[in-house]
Amino acid sequence: MHETTLMQNLIATVMEAVEKHNVTRVNRVVLSVGKLSNALPDALIFAFEALTQGGILQGAELEIEYLPVIARCRACGREYQADGFPIICPDCESKNFTIISGDEVYIKSIDIDCKKE
Amino acid sequence: MARLDIKQDLKALNNAIAAENREKFASHNIYVINVMGSPGAGKTTFLENILPELSKHIQVVMIEGDLATRNDALRIEKTGVTALQINTNGGCHLDAKMIENQIQKLNLNSIDLIIIENVGNLVCPASFDLGEDMRMVIVSVAEGEDKPIKYPIAFLEANMVVITKTDLLPYLDVDINVMKKYIADINPEAAVFETTKKDGVYKADEVVEYILEQVRKKKGK
């Protein structure tokens, strides 16, 4: 459900860029989604399509790239990719860690057509 | 066609407001707890029972999140504690802006502890920082011992887990030690407590002590 909130923020951010750059059409929005973000791709796409009806973003493709979860072991300091739960250091097997990345949701880029000057 | 790099974090707005809330709480030495759990986990019952004890020692205010009703706030007010109600009108989580709006109504100088009861949901609330010091997850034994591994993100970010309704264990096919092992697997640093109701008496003394200790630690700084 909070995917709708994320997509509202996405549309507001893209619309700022659209206004700033005289954009005539948005072809694609590339979104980076961390695997720990609790954001479901199907729900993101559904919300994006529903919220962009009738506007300049209608018909734009939402491309989702996944970001792995990177943790740093608090026992031995190693940084490692965590592929599931529980998260365990592959070197020292400690379960104490700090998440470095993997919970973010951000717009990476947009592909646009602009008005010719 | 051109490609425009944006690199804009979609949670940035919420995180920025959460940081402001956190600063405001810190400047008034207020400790803040964000309580999460499934519908029916026993969040409000737990709070109703610990609030009278906490209130003997410190000044507490509750912020209640609920989709549609004021039921929980009314229950809390019967304990004598002020409860502000947020209705999300179907929204699945509280966000930092909603908290900012509520704290404007409070005289922060006279408060030691704010407890925020999030919307009953173990998924979405975990993704929204409110500016709290502590994340508390409430889970009842009746939900099944595997709840922590089914909803790992909520448990991953919890500082404290309270396992409720342990008096039901004789009637359930649930092993509380397995539940605790799952919690420790995901988050070995979380402080884990149990509550129980026996002969009509709700027992949560250790939790109350632990919370008071955290509040005093922040005050002491």
Q: Where are the domains of chain A?
A: 2-68+102-114
Q: What ipTM is given for this predicted complex?
A: 0.78
The partner residue sitting opposite B5, judged by closest CB among A6, A104, A109, is A109
Query: Residue B57: CB partners within 8 Å, gap ≥ 6?
Result: B212
Q: Give the pLDDT band of residue A3 (cuts 50, 70, 90).
A: confident
Three-state secondary-structure class, residue B4: strand
Of the candidates B103, B117, B135, the residue with the CA atom closest to the CA atom of residue B51: B117
* pLDDT, tens digit, 9 for 90 and up, residues B28-56: 999 999 999 999 999 999 999 999 999 99
Of the candidates B61, B189, B38, the residue with the CA atom closest to the CA atom of residue B125: B38
Angle, vertex CA B153, rays to CA A37 and CA B219, nearest 5: 105
φ, ψ for residue A59, nearest 5 deg: 90, -10
Q: Give the pLDDT band of residue B75 (cuts 50, 70, 90).
A: very high
Q: Is the pLDDT of residue A89 over 70?
A: yes
Domain B12-214 in CATH 3.40.50.300? yes
Contact criterion met (CB < 8 Å) for B1 and A10: no
Domain boundaries, chain B: 12-214
Nearest CA in chain B to A11: B10
* pLDDT, tens digit, 9 for 90 and up, residues A10-21: 999 999 988 988
Q: Is the pLDDT of residue A116 over 80?
A: no
Note whether B46 contacts A: Cβ–Cβ < 8 A. no
Tokens of B25: 């709480």
pLDDT at A85: 86
Domain A2-68+102-114 in CATH 3.40.920.10? no
* pLDDT, tens digit, 9 for 90 and up, residues A53-81: 988 899 999 999 999 999 999 999 999 99
Contact criterion met (CB < 8 Å) for A105 and B124: no
Beta bridge partners of B9: A106
**Optimal mutation site among B6, B123, B189, interface A, most CBs of chain A within 10 A:** B6
Contact criterion met (CB < 8 Å) for B13 and A106: no
Mean pLDDT of B141-156: 93
Residues of A in contact with B9 (CB under 8 A): 104-106
Query: Residue B124: CB partners within 8 Å, gap ≥ 6?
Result: A1, A2, A38, B92, B93
The partner residue sitting opposite A86, judged by closest CB among B2, B10, B185, is B185
Residue-wise burial string across B138-152, b where 16 or more C-beta atoms lie within 10 A, e elsewhere: bbbbbbebebbbebb
Residue A48 and residue A10 in contact, taking contact as beta carbons nearer than 8 Å:
yes
